[in-house]
Amino acid sequence: MAIVKVIEVIASSEKSIDDALQNAVKEAAKTVRNIDSVYVKDIKAHVKDDKIISYGLICKISFRLDAH
């Protein structure tokens, strides 16, 4: 039986929501192996002078633990 662990991360991007999501996975993958899925818990955008200047996400990343 596989054990799955979930961590919560915050990621951002000045380009797009998709880019922020890619950043979340890329950064998590530096220290976590076997990533299975990402659940976007919350999305926000920062606005300045009536324009969106950056996007932020709160994500839950699921990954399988290695069997010993």
Is there a contact between 53 and 3 (Cβ–Cβ < 8 Å)?
no
* Overall size of the chain counted in residues: 68
Task: Look at residue 68 and tell me whether its pLDDT is greater than 80.
Answer: no
Question: Count of domains in the chain?
Answer: 1
Scanning the structure block, which residue is given the tokens 């990533």? Answer: 35
The model's pTM is 0.85
CATH of the domain at 48: 3.30.1660.10
Domain carrying residue 34: 4-64
What digits encode the pLDDT tens for the residues 1-57? 789 999 999 999 999 999 999 999 999 999 999 999 999 999 999 999 999 999 999
Q: Mind spelling out the 3-state secondary structure of 14-61?
A: CCCHHHHHHHHHHHHCCCCCCEEEEEEEEEEEEEECCEEEEEEEEEEE
pLDDT-based confidence at 66, cuts 50/70/90? confident
